[in-house]
Chain A
């Protein structure tokens, strides 16, 4: 969590991140992607590794795909997926054995290429599994998110405006967010910072779904703070012809053309 301490007049902040690093996350998504391909297109995947693509080989390919997806989901949803990563290492062993059999049977160069690929991904699997095995203590489920904006007004004015922004304040209360106001250096106004722990349901998987929908809290907060800054500094939420409702990330990818609107939105 956030640890603030004053050392010789300089405030230092440490933001402790969760156990799972980007490599584990990558391996999780890799599993999901590979597994999906294996289930959706077993014939092509069989051909890719030098197998026949008929009968039993196809069924085995699909089963391995189901295994990959299970492992991927496990990695992406657990706060510290040590066991799931070791299961990937075991899966690599199984894949190598199956590919070895295929290579012995069909004698195709593609099988050798596939074996090289499995070996290549086995290295980060083992590395990350060992890395997570060394972790101790309670796993960190959430990530501390900090969003800050500088508003070009004195602190009391910003605080006053905040007191008036009831919807925004309620939202912060609902997610247990810490809100702080500090004067920005050199009369640059006031820094407004919001901190909260983000732990979406179903871990990274849930986080990705929310993010794609533009509904994750971090994104929403960024929008909210930007609009709050606009209101305090300029008195209004700025609208353009393509974004008549003002700044909302969720709408930014599906905009209307920059052309006057038939009916004015107030």
Chain B
């Protein structure tokens, strides 16, 4: 990797002074680091100097350096990123932040940063491709989020960017620039969830991966690059696989997280940077490479500090005093230390989610998987119960002797590790599985599983906290289809057919509806059935109607109740409705409505419908 890491040719090569100062900084950071530690009142990091401590090699030459608290030489145990929670797995060299161990630390660590510059819009395009409603590539599209003064552009595609649409500006302004701009709402939480899945998917290259911002990943590839050939081959592999799933990416590998972050966003194509080239390469980058927010970058630019090297040339004590109370995002000195490896920044990789799968190897091909099912279910449920998990989805796969694979997938309403229940759900599901000439391997997996929390609702345990109901819904859904088993939920709409939603029966805790008995029918006909009505005046109540080949004479009526269309949801030209509750001579009570009134300029003579049946 050293052959590729020549110093790049810069458009504006940095002056000698910053580079010298950078060298000076790298040789003499100890007293200054102690100073910032003192200024930040991080007093517990102070360690009394010991004679055995090894001072850096060049510290003797910097005799003019100044330390306010007079403890030059050794600096141990800085507290790096206080915001980062130290849970989960931390990187291999986590905590190796002692001053004396710094050189070996940065030499040993290799951090790869992956930047997905168009993550949101590419995810949206991926979804559009899947639903076959993809816009042509020359159509400008922008994703918007709600801002303080109306929607704000969040992400743009290439055509919109070429038309001058900028992320962060208001949608109305961008519409003025580009009138045929198509605006869609961004799915920010969906993006974050997708990024979390990509982080787990990226564990194929190294075991330590984490989310880095809203559109990036960070991988601790120390020691794993040789498995993919070399670092350059690994970066090409990462970029290729990301483009296969539809995401463009920019990557870089460097000894520290900060340097890799900066090179991925500002540096060259798949750039790698070795530890000895780090100060020179970083010194040339602009200050926004320091992972600081825009206000701080602006402040530094106003102070005349344009490159990282310029910042390193400033005496540390001044910077430390200026940014003593700033947080990590506003503190260029802390960010500089992180970039140079003076402060450790371990990668906080989350735990792998547990996976549950069992398999059964058969000595000879068989045709029927049903006799093996109870044993598989029991083994899987034992695994689930050992980790206190429950399956939400089951997948039974048979591997046929001719190389084909067949799957049967089941969804489960409530996470369960009840083997008997799960086994019963396969009743009738395996009749249509095609075994071919037989199969010799069966696997049962739980692709989706949830952690189970057991709650005792009653002392005598008579209430089974809805487990029996969830099992019933599973069984009904497995035999009849999940879309046939619904539950009714109220919905805020005054159009009668929209006041009820049919939602999945497995969702729990619906709100309680208001009781309109007597004013609303007990059953609703869908769609409403047209009737022929006799009336005395067109706007008045009906006198007689014929429905389903029978003539009903209306004895009593209640109404009209006028229900206007919802202009925010209905098509233009939708007519209002006048509802009547009528009682006919044979004593049945119906809910009739007239669709529109005569002369509302929205159609011909209004038609009549039966919409419901009263008690």
User: Are A and B bound to each other?
Assistant: no
Give residues in B with beta carbon < 8 Å to A: none
Give residues in A with beta carbon < 8 Å to B: none
